[in-house]
Structure 1
Amino acid sequence: MLDALKVVTIVVVGVMVGVEFSVAFVINRILDALPGDNGQLGRAHGGRMLGAVMPVWYIGSLALAAVWAIAGWHDHGSGLVVTAAALLILSVLMSVLLLVPINNRSKTWTPENRPEDWKEQANRWDRFHAVRVAVIIAAFALLAAALV
């Protein structure tokens, strides 16, 4: 049963890392290159869509890692799992404190109502997000390392 939990945790966290990496280094770059207001509209739509899914994904990933850490407390690699869970806690805190406030504003923006500094806010979100991606990649790597 613990082996199944480990596999599910690795898959859930790994897919989350892939989505967030894609947002940071592919999707937002594509949106930023679109003409006119299309990029901003795309970011707003992505903020609404992913903003609904990602809280469950982040909390679910953290819960899976925490259960793994508890269930496998005496197993080899448990320190790596605990550290990964701590990094996932950090990613949730970063989300709530840094990224969600910007996302909650930007997902409602249209070309008619966006603030003058909307690009600066989007760039700030991108920078925070890149750091968060690095944190969850590290958590994923630690979880994978705990298997060997």
Structure 2
Amino acid sequence: MQDVLAVVTVVVVGLMVGVEFAVAVFVNPILDRLPDNGGLAARGDGARVLGRVMPFWYICSLVLGAVWAALTWGAAGAPLIAAGAGLLVVSVVMSILLLVPINSRVATWSRDGVPADWKQQVNRWDRFHYVRVAVIIAAFTLFTVALVQV
């Protein structure tokens, strides 16, 4: 059962990392290069769609990591698993405190217009998102290494 939990955790977190990495490195830069700020509507739609899905994905990843850490406590890879789960806690806190407030505003832009400082808000979100992606990549790496050790 622990083996199944370990694999499911690594797959769920790995897929989340892939989505967030793609948004940071490919999707948003492509949207930002569209002429006449054409990417703003797409960012707003992405904020609405991913804003509904990602909280569940982050919490599910965190719960899986925490359960895996609890079940393997004392085993060889347990400190790595616990550290990975801790990093997922950091990513959730970052999301709630830093990214969600900006994302919530971006989600309304296509309906309510665009504020004068929209570029600064988008750039701020992107910077926070890069840090969050680094945090979840580190968690994924720890989980992957632990998968081999446990």
TM-score under structure 1 normalisation?
A: 0.97
Q: Count how many residue pairs are aligned between Structure 1 and Structure 2.
A: 148
Partner amino acid, structure 2, of 1:50: L
RMSD: 1.1
Say which SS state the counterpart of residue 6 (structure 2) adopts: helix
1:76 matched residue in structure 2: 76
Displacement of 1:74 after TM fit?
Answer: 2.2
2:64 matched residue in structure 1: 64
1:109 matched residue in structure 2: 109
1:30 matched residue in structure 2: 30
Displacement of 1:110 after TM fit?
Answer: 2.6
**Partners of 2:62 and 2:111 in 1: CA distance:** 37
Q: Name the stretch that deviates more: 1-10 or 35-44.
A: 35-44
1:1-148 alignment, distance < 5 Å:
1-110=1-110, 113-148=113-148
4+ residue runs of structure 1 moved beyond 3 angstroms? none
Larger fraction in helix: 2
**Partners of 1:65 and 1:101 in 2: CA distance:** 26
Partner amino acid, structure 1, of 2:68: W
> 2:87 touches 2:135 (CA, 8 Å); kept in 1?
yes
**Partners of 2:112 and 2:75 in 1: CA distance:** 57
TM-score under structure 2 normalisation?
A: 0.96
> 1:44 touches 1:108 (CA, 8 Å); kept in 2?
yes
Which runs of 5 or more structure 1 residues have no equivalent in the other structure? none
**Partners of 1:3 and 1:111 in 2: CA distance:** 47
